[in-house]
């Protein structure tokens, strides 16, 4: 069986309860994790240890909180009580080196699914998204990864557009994979609003990225998380799996073979 699970954010007890509920067997099953393995939850180290230990059976894409952990390791961002145990671990170098190898986009060649933490920008088709994933992966894995991350994380613009300079386009792609929720009609990213899309005032100027008119066709269903206020959502094009476990909500798994949906309540808040 193949299961996709929403943002863990260090909620290890809930993660284990959900794996037990779906009868996950790393010897036979495959797990997809939409990113944000750590931060805000009390058991980020235990969560990362489990995923790393079973990494051969787990597909993971990078989320914004995973990037934050890498940045804290490099001294770019301040640490906190949730990720400090990871940074003090004797295996921290192995964990960070592994995280740096992870993609921003995973495309399953044997199914109708692909996965990214926040989604795929409306200006990108699957080939565009793959191209940008390859560029970003190369930069994160490169010898100048620290300075590259400094540059990307220093971009505090809450509105980002594409088809500008190469640096701006790279920042747009980076943000689209890790931080995107709402977009303008031209595909520009509005990165400040985190609310659920129920307000007419919100929807007057922007729309959820997957509802933007003239969005480029992506010929696979996109599995993503990142949007806890949206919660579980499924249509013909996307499956959203962040059901806000770390905020006291649920942790949700979606069976990619049968489309079964299974959740457990949060029992490990940060």
Three-class secondary structure of residue 196 per DSSP: coil
Ordered alpha helix ranges (H), 154-254: 166-178, 200-205
| Cα 37 from Cα 234, distance rounded (Å) | 22
The distance of Cα 219 from the centroid of its chain, to the nearest Å, equals 20
Q: Which residue carries 């990619």 as its tokens?
A: 256
What is the spatial distance between Cα 50 and Cα 47, in angstroms, rounded to a whole number?
5
Residue-wise pLDDT tens digits, 240-269: 999 999 999 999 999 999 999 999 998 744
Per the CB < 8 A criterion, the answer to whether 233 and 209 are in contact is no
Q: 35-64: per-residue pLDDT in tens?
A: 999 999 899 999 999 999 999 999 999 999
Q: Is 49 exposed, middle or buried (0-12, 13-18, 19+ CB in 10 A)?
A: middle
pLDDT exceeds cutoff 70 at 200: no
Contact between 148 and 65 (Cβ < 8 Å): no
Q: Lowest mean pLDDT: which of 47-61, 95-109, 192-206?
A: 192-206
User: What homologous superfamily does CATH list for 2-265?
Assistant: Metallo-dependent phosphatases (3.60.21.10)
Region 94-122 average pLDDT: 97
Identify the DSSP state of 217: P
Asked whether the beta carbons of 173 and 159 are under 8 A apart, the reply is: no
pTM, rounded to two decimals: 0.95
State how far the Cα of 88 lies from the Cα of 72, in Å rounded to an integer: 12
pLDDT given at position 222? 98
Q: What is the DSSP-derived secondary structure letter of residue 29?
A: -
């Amino acid at each position: 069986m193949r299961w996709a699970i929403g943002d863990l954010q260090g909620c290890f007890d809930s993660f284990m309860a959900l794996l037990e509920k779906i009868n996950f067997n790393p010897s036979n099953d495959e797990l997809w994790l939409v990113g944000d393995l750590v931060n805000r939850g009390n058991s980020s180290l235990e969560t990362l240890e489990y995923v790393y230990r079973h990494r051969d059976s787990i597909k993971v894409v990078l989320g914004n909180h995973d990037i934050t952990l890498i940045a804290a390791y490099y001294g770019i961002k301040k640490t906190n009580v949730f990720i400090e145990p990871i940074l003090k671990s004797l295996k921290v170098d192995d964990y960070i080196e592994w995280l740096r190898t992870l993609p921003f986009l995973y495309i399953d060649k044997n199914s109708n699914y692909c996965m990214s933490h926040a989604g795929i920008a409306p200006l990108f088709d699957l080939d565009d998204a793959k191209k940008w994933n390859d560029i970003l992966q190369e930069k994160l894995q490169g010898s100048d990864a620290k300075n590259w991350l400094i540059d990307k994380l220093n971009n505090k613009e809450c509105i980002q557009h594409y088809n500008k300079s190469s640096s701006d386009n790279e920042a747009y792609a980076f943000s689209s994979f890790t931080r995107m929720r709402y977009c303008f009609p031209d595909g520009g990213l509005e990165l400040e609003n985190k609310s659920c899309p129920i307000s007419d005032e919100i929807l007057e100027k922007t729309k959820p990225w997957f509802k933007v008119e003239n969005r480029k066709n992506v010929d696979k269903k996109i599995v993503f998380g990142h949007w806890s206020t949206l919660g579980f959502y499924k249509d013909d094009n996307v499956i959203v799996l962040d059901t806000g476990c770390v905020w006291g909500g649920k942790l949700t798994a979606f069976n990619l073979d049968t489309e079964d949906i299974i959740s457990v309540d949060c029992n490990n808040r940060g």
